[in-house]
């Protein structure tokens, strides 16, 4: 597939006529949650059926929404203070908009299977860390909108809010009921601090003697190329009826059923363990689960930034393979429940105490090529990604880009809109057939 770039421009924020111009020298320092998360580019891809939205409307909407979400129009820079703390300079630098065309049909490459081809539908993740949009028109009239954003600026929840607001701005509507809110003063440490949970070895760790700097992009440009090429991404489609079936099976004898997320993740955890063929039943397998702190810290509506920590359910390979699905689902449920408001506040106190800097601690959110025997999951099941409407209706398809990190899962609502779920699962090629065999079994 050859992608022909037609134009590339920097879209600056626009402001209502007569409105005062904001301060373009303001620097917003990173919060403790911004600092502890992955510093990487994330890319997502939308597909719109023909005739699709107008590029002109998309560009005007982008300029307007950047005027409200100024963090996405700024640049990641050290602060002016002596400590040079990282943050975002609100200088209205803008976001790059690339227009391109492909002399092929969208159905020829997507959405059937995530592959390296989809990397051509958004700008290179190895470039400058910034917000970039690529509009790719296909011969069939379909339009692909590839969006890349710096995870150090905003998490998935915040990014989905931005995207919905962008669509509203493209339709000439207000960006949303709640303007974006930054973290300044919202989550202060307690005085005196009360660190009641262990954070060393969880969000932070001591640097290894031979540690290397992390790579710039998740699943790209790091690790052994031969190993990367042996990883394929399988899209598992779980119908609404299948999910209901395994959910009922896992929840037998339980007063309250497990959630859809807990059930699907437990099922994929067991399936991956079986497909990997791990031989030691006493080996521990752990999942890193993103947990949204907004309801736990009572963040105001429209909070924009990172507000995520992680839960780490773990059990042995033998338990996953031999015990009922309920065991894995309960481990997930209990671990997420432990990451409550008290845990988040304890983290704020610890991260603000100076211990991280004094002890030279590093974050555990580092990029790897292979997670086996562990997993990591990003669940987008509750994010309003399908509500993006530039004026021609909702997208016909939505997916994460191609991230060949073995064991890194993405759970997204199916484009069918019937309650089914798609799981994007990177596996070693030699484990793929086994994964498919176990994937749709309720045993």
SS3 per residue for 188-239: CCCCCCCCCCCCECCCEECCCCCCCCCCCECCECCCCHHHHHCEEEEEEEEC
Using alpha carbons, select from 398, 428, 419, 395 the residue that is nearest to residue 410.
Answer: 398
The number of beta carbons lying within 10 Å of the beta carbon of residue 387 is 13
DSSP letter assigned to residue 343: H
What angle is formed at CA 204 by the lines to CA 320 and CA 313, rounded to 5 degrees?
Answer: 15
* Through-space distance between the first and last CA atoms of the chain, rounded to whole angstroms: 41
Positions marked catalytic: 151, 389
Ramachandran region, residue 92 (left: φ > 0; alpha: ψ -120 to 50; beta: rest):
left
Q: Cα separation of 387 and 167, whole Å?
A: 8
Asked if 182 and 88 touch (Cβ cutoff 8 Å), the reply is: no
Q: Cα separation of 221 and 217, whole Å?
A: 7
Phi and psi, residue 54, nearest 5°: -80, 130
Q: Cα separation of 160 and 120, whole Å?
A: 22
The number of beta carbons lying within 10 Å of the beta carbon of residue 443 is 7
According to DSSP H, which parts of 352-392 are helical?
Answer: 355-359
Asked if 120 and 1 touch (Cβ cutoff 8 Å), the reply is: yes
What angle is formed at CA 422 by the lines to CA 69 and CA 411, rounded to 5 degrees?
Answer: 50
According to DSSP H, which parts of 277-424 are helical?
Answer: 317-322, 325-338, 341-351, 355-359
Across-strand partners of 43? Answer: 148
């Amino acid at each position: 597939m050859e992608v022909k770039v037609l134009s590339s421009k920097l879209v600056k924020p626009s402001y209502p006529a007569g409105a005062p111009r904001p301060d373009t020298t303001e620097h917003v320092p990173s919060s403790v949650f911004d600092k502890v998360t992955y510093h990487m580019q994330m890319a997502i891809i939308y597909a719109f059926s023909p005739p699709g939205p107008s590029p002109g409307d998309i560009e005007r909407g982008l300029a307007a929404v950047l005027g409200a979400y100024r963090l996405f129009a700024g640049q990641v820079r050290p602060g002016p203070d002596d400590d040079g703390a990282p943050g975002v300079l609100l200088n209205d630098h803008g976001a790059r908009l690339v227009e391109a065309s492909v002399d092929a049909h969208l159905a020829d490459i997507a959405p059937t299977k995530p592959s390296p081809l989809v990397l051509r539908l958004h700008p290179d993740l190895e470039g400058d860390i910034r917000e970039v949009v690529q509009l790719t028109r296909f011969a069939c009239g379909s339009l692909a909108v590839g969006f890349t954003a710096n995870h150090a600026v905003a998490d998935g929840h915040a990014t989905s809010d931005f995207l919905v607001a962008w669509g509203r701005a493209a339709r000439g509507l207000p960006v949303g009921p709640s303007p974006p809110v930054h973290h300044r003063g919202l989550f202060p440490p307690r005085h005196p601090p009360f660190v009641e949970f262990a954070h060393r070895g969880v969000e932070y760790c001591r640097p290894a003697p031979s540690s290397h700097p992390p790579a710039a992009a998740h699943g790209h440009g790091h690790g052994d190329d031969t190993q990367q090429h042996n990883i394929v991404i399988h899209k598992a489609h779980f119908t609404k009826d299948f999910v209901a079936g395994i959910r009922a099976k896992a929840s037998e004898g339980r007063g309250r059923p497990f959630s859809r997320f807990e059930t699907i993740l437990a099922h994929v955890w067991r399936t991956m363990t079986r497909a990997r063929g791990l031989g030691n039943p006493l080996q521990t397998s752990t999942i890193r689960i993103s947990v949204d702190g907004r309801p736990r810290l009572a963040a105001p509506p429209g909070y924009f930034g990172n507000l995520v920590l992680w839960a780490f359910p773990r059990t042995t390979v033998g338990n996953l393979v031999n015990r009922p699905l309920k065991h894995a689902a309960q481990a997930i449920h209990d671990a997420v429940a432990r990451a409550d408001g008290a845990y988040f506040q304890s983290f704020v106190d610890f991260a603000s105490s100076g211990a991280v800097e004094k002890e030279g601690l590093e974050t555990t959110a580092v990029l790897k090529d292979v997670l086996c025997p562990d997993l990591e999951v990003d669940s987008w099941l509750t994010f309003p990604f399908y509500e993006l409407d530039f004026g021609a209706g909702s997208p016909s398809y939505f997916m994460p880009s191609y991230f060949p990190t073995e064991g890194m899962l993405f759970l997204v609502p199916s484009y069918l809109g019937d309650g089914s779920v798609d799981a994007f699962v990177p596996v070693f090629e030699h484990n793929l057939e086994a994964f498919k065999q176990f994937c749709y079994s309720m045993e």
